[in-house]
């Protein structure tokens, strides 16, 4: 019951954000964004999505292999496309990731370990995204530039506290928390920080973030934003960070943050909202290969019945 309430609360929150945007800015920016979408922008987004999806699939393979659940790269790419499509079309934004974890777990006969691999792979990506976003916002001007030193200090302090708590000895080595901490430490050591894994994980995460940022810059150009990349990159990273919040198929917080940060940067809230709409459409179209993966998987699970061979005539059988 509590989980259902939380899910509905998240969906209502995203819907409220969209409703407030419509009340404050009207439907014009939404329609302007939809009208701005063109084939060139969609093709560019699809090309960037290929690079980011392959990189994310490679990251997943590295983490899964470190945890002891093998995953071919081709299967990882197909599953990741499917997950991205489900995340972009279903509420919550994590249904696709749960689906790929469960599907992989059934293949290797260990659903729990496969779900852990997905969770750690997503966690690693979020950590790299946070670090790179903070670095860029510290260096380049943005509406939140003055707050970034304080945020950097807070994050550094939190990391030190987490490290100290991780090294702290618990009273009982057999307690549930002790076993949980040991399991988490083992997963991080073998799945994320292994020498053969962490460089690839960091590189794939950085390339993925760069691909998403480039896609948003393309969307902003599509709606007429002409600010230089040094000014647009921090804005793009702030909008991408908003996409980690609960949403309705990716919609809601992204549009709200885009409208706010464009307005704060003097670029116009309407243009920011239109850019977010174009970005949402571009991302949805770029994930359509995942729909094809779903269709192919469905046909594999439900093969068409083979026609029965015609029965031999009784007379022919006797002959």
Task: Sketch the domain layout of the chain as residue ranges.
Answer: 14-300
Closest Cα partner for 90 from 286, 282, 291?
A: 291
Sort residue 246 into left (φ over 0), alpha (ψ -120 to 50) or beta. Answer: beta
Beta-carbon contacts of 283 under 8 Å, excluding residues fewer than 6 positions away, are 45, 49, 88, 215, 250
pTM of the model as a whole: 0.89
Specify whether the CB–CB gap between 204 and 192 falls below 8 A.
no
Q: How far apart are CA 111 and CA 53, in angstroms?
A: 23
pLDDT of residue 315: 47
**Rounded to 10 degrees, what is the CA torsion of 209, 213, 219, 222?**
-140
The half-sphere exposure of 270 on its side-chain side, counting CA atoms within 13 A, is 9
pLDDT of residue 74: 95
Which stretches of the chain drop beneath a pLDDT of 50?
Answer: 308, 311-317, 319
Closest Cα partner for 118 from 101, 140, 135?
A: 101
Residues in a beta bridge with 251: 248
**pLDDT tens digits, 187-203:** 999 999 998 999 999 99
List the Cα angle 162/197/75 in 5-degree steps: 115
Q: How far apart are CA 139 and CA 168, in angstroms?
A: 35
Sort residue 311 into left (φ over 0), alpha (ψ -120 to 50) or beta. Answer: beta
**pLDDT tens digits, 2-18:** 666 666 777 788 888 99
Closest Cα partner for 219 from 262, 268, 283?
A: 283
pLDDT of residue 3: 63
């Amino acid at each position: 019951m509590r989980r259902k309430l939380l899910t509905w609360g998240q969906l209502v929150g995203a819907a409220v954000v969209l409703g407030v945007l419509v009340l404050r800015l009207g439907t014009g920016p939404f329609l302007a964004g939809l009208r701005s979408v063109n084939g060139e922008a969609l093709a560019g987004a699809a090309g960037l999505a290929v690079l980011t999806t392959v990189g994310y699939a490679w990251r997943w393979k590295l983490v899964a292999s470190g945890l002891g659940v093998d995953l071919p790269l081709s299967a990882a790419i197909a599953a990741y496309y499917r997950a991205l499509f489900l995340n972009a079309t279903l509420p919550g934004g994590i249904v696709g990731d749960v689906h790929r974890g469960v599907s992989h777990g059934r293949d290797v006969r260990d659903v729990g370990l496969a779900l852990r691999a997905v969770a750690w792979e997503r966690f690693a990506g979020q950590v790299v995204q946070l670090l790179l976003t903070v670095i860029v916002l510290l260096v380049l001007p943005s509406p939140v530039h003055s707050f970034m030193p304080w945020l950097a200090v807070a994050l550094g302090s939190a990391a030190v506290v987490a490290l100290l708590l991780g090294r702290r000895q618990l009273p009982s080595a057999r307690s549930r928390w002790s076993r949980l901490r040991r399991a988490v430490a083992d997963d991080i050591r073998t799945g994320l920080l292994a020498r053969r894994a962490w460089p690839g994980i960091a590189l794939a995460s950085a390339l993925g973030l760069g691909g998403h940022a480039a896609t948003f810059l393309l969307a902003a150009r599509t709606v007429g934003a002409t600010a230089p990349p040094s000014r647009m990159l921090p804005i793009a990273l702030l909008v991408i960070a908003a996409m980690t919040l609960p949403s309705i198929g990716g919609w809601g917080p992204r549009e709200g943050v885009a409208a706010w940060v464009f307005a704060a940067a003097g670029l116009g809230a309407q243009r920011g909202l239109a850019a977010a709409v174009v970005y949402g459409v571009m991302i949805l179209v770029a994930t359509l290969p995942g729909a094809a993966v779903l269709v192919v998987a469905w046909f594999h699970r439900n093969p068409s019945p083979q026609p029965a061979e015609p029965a031999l005539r009784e007379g022919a059988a006797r002959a």
